[in-house]
Amino acid sequence: MRVGPAAGDNQELASCSSGLTERYMPSMELGALRDIPNIKKKASQKLFKQQVLHRGKLLSSYKHMVSVVIHMVNISRSMKCFLKGASSSPLVHFSGYSEDKNDPGDGGGIPVFTFWTISCFEEVAEELVQMFILELNLKRLLVVELLSISCKVPPLNSLHWSDDLYPGEFSDLSICNLYSEETCKPVYPRLDDQKSEMPAARFNNQQPDHDVLQVYLTTWLAEVNIDSDRVDEIFVEVGDEMHVTIS
């Protein structure tokens, strides 16, 4: 399971490729094509159009990632099961809404399937969802950088970490606890349980070179916040508890 679709990987690769090619087109050696009138100008114009197209697709892919993570968050928060009715009743009734403020919503600690209580399921769900939240936040940083790639100096339409990438993004990030009401901007990316104090911003509007973009692509594909072994382990544990196969 991944935060975003494979198409997101393709759009990032395409965006980097068109941006780099457009930037270095004036200095490229075109061989036998060099004598064609305005070949570099026409190629640059076409590459620019491709880059605009890929940017739109990359942003669309990012929005899909956000919606997937929000869905995961909402599901992980919907496991509560509250006791309903008088405790003296011989039959136990449950509800999705609390009638007692002291009820933690763990279904009275009764095993749901075999041995695990609701609290056990909530714990592994939180662990799993947190991985994807951290990964989404890191990918947002990469998206901000990639959407700001330009061959112009100074770059046009340069984005900053505090900019919303689409209408309503900050509301979506708030659901994932990725937006700070105190600073009025998204929280900075971090790895695992580490804390990030560094502003996620470009210095002096410098455009990333080929090596930096390679690091961006590697980071995107590596999904550094997703512990794949632990994810598989959780799926096996939950599957055994529920007597199903999760893949």
CA angle 172, 225, 132 (to 5 degrees): 30
Q: How far is CA 129 from CA 9, 19, 185, in A?
A: 21, 33, 22
Q: Which of 96-105, 170-179, 233-242 has the lowest mean pLDDT?
A: 96-105
Of the two residues 36 and 174, the one the predictor is more confident about is 174
Q: Around Cβ 236, how many Cβ atoms within 10 Å?
A: 12
* 70-105: burial string, b at 16+ Cβ within 10 Å, e else: bebbeebeebbbbbbeeeeeeeeeeeeeeeeeebeb
Q: Which of 28-37, 78-87, 134-143, 194-203 has the lowest mean pLDDT?
A: 194-203
pLDDT at 231: 94
pLDDT at 160: 87
**Position of tokens 């339409």?**
157
Q: How far apart are CA 34 and CA 30, in angstroms?
A: 5
Q: How far apart are CA 183 and CA 24, in angstroms?
A: 38
Highest mean pLDDT among 20-29, 146-155, 226-235 belongs to: 226-235
Over 90: is that where the pLDDT of 8 sits? no
**Position of tokens 């490229």?**
28
pLDDT at 17: 56
pLDDT at 133: 96
- Angle formed by the axes of helices 118-147 and 39-76, nearest 10°: 160
Query: How sure is the predictor about 82, in pLDDT bands with cuts at 50, 70 and 90?
Result: confident
Query: How sure is the predictor about 187, in pLDDT bands with cuts at 50, 70 and 90?
Result: very high
Over 90: is that where the pLDDT of 131 sits? yes
Q: Give the residue from 58, 25, 33, 30 showing the smallest Cα distance to 145.
A: 58
Cα-based torsion angle of the residue sequence 131, 132, 138, 139 in order, rounded to the nearest 10 degrees: 150
Q: How far apart are CA 80 and CA 78, in angstroms?
A: 6
Is the pTM for the entire model greater than 0.85?
A: no
- C-beta of residue 93 within 8 angstroms of C-beta of residue 46: no
- C-beta of residue 139 within 8 angstroms of C-beta of residue 226: no
- C-beta of residue 106 within 8 angstroms of C-beta of residue 118: yes
